């Protein structure tokens, strides 16, 4: 099990280690923006087998997968105290789940299904505090409106290889393909790690992520992490 450290150069830090149970570069980048030190410890979990045996809804599934990832990392790191953060994301269209594509042809198929339509992205988050043996989890669902891109655009994007490690075969933040027309809800949840939800769970365990908006009281309906979004959410946007 590999462990990668991500340390911020300055600032006061919580003494307990924070482990990110994910190998996703997108989650690493998002969490890295918060100024908190953390270690990357990917979870050793057969997600396909877990999903096949699960009997709940897809939003419940991603939350359960986040819980399973957190527990898997806890089991693999018995001597490390502190907090474990895990997440899982999936795409839902017409009541069916679009997970990571099997190959480029499957990626193109998914992108054709999503083209010009509205789908949901569900992200589950779990935080496990080992010393207190307390695990909390939650999930949120965001509506995503896709633009009517062409088959040629699909082919060019799939050829980059970017789609193969992503649920639904696309990255909302991809600079050249930019497949999404608009997002209703938490943009960072679509990327893979909703800081609004993560910050609430971590705060319950004594770890506060530095908010980027100074006057939160003046904008109670604004997501604390709206300025982390690319592009930024408007002031009145719903938070995840």
The neighbour count for residue 154, using CB atoms within 10 Å, is 23
Q: Are 114 and 181 in contact (CB under 8 A)?
A: no
Residue 236 lies in a domain: no
Q: What is the CATH number of the domain that holds 149?
A: 3.90.950.10
Residue 189 lies in a domain: yes
Lowest mean pLDDT among 34-43, 68-77, 159-168, 221-230: 221-230
Report the chain's mean pLDDT, rounded to a whole number.
Answer: 83
pLDDT value at position 237? 34
Residue 58 lies in a domain: yes
Mean pLDDT over residues 156-168, rounded? Answer: 94
Residue 237 lies in a domain: no
**Domain of 96, in residue numbers:** 4-228
Triad 171, 172, 176: Cα angle to 5° = 80
- Record the tokens describing residue 87, joined without a space: 């997440």
Counted domains in the chain: 1
Q: Is the peptide bond before 231 cis (omega within 30 degrees of 0)?
A: yes
Residue 240 lies in a domain: no
Q: pLDDT-derived band of residue 232, with 50, 70 and 90 as boundaries?
A: very low
Residue 233 lies in a domain: no
Q: Is the pLDDT of residue 225 over 90?
A: no
Mean pLDDT over residues 136-140, rounded? Answer: 93
Active site residue 165: no
Q: Is the pLDDT of residue 68 over 90?
A: yes
Mean pLDDT over residues 135-162, rounded? Answer: 95
Q: Is the pLDDT of residue 13 over 70?
A: no
Residue 13 lies in a domain: yes
Mean pLDDT over residues 28-41, rounded? Answer: 89
pTM confidence score: 0.81
Of the candidates 14, 46, 48, 88, the residue annotated as catalytic is 88
SS3 (DSSP) at 62: helix
pLDDT value at position 224? 58
């Amino acid at each position: 099990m590999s462990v990668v450290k991500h340390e911020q150069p300055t600032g006061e830090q919580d003494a307990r280690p924070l482990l990110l149970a994910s190998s996703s570069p997108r989650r690493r980048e998002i969490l890295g923006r918060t100024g908190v030190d953390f270690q990357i410890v990917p979870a050793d979990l057969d997600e396909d087998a877990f999903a096949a045996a699960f009997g709940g809804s897809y939003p419940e599934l991603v939350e359960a997968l986040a819980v399973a990832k957190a527990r898997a990392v806890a089991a693999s790191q018995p001597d490390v105290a502190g907090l474990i953060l895990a997440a899982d994301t999936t795409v839902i269209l017409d009541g069916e789940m679009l997970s990571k594509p099997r190959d480029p042809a499957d990626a193109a198929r998914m992108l054709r299904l999503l083209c010009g339509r509205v789908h949901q992205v569900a992200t589950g988050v779990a935080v496990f505090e080992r010393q207190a043996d307390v695990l909390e989890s939650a999930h949120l669902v965001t509506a995503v409106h896709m633009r009517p891109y062409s088959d040629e655009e699909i082919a060019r994007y799939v050829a980059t290889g970017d789609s193969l490690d992503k649920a639904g075969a696309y990255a909302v933040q991809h600079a050249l393909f930019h497949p999404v027309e608009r997002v209703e809800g938490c943009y960072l949840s679509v990327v893979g790690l909703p800081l609004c939800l993560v910050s609430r769970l971590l705060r319950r365990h004594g770890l506060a992520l530095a908010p980027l908006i100074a006057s939160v009281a003046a904008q109670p309906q604004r997501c604390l992490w709206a300025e982390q979004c690319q592009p930024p959410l408007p002031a009145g946007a719903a938070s995840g």
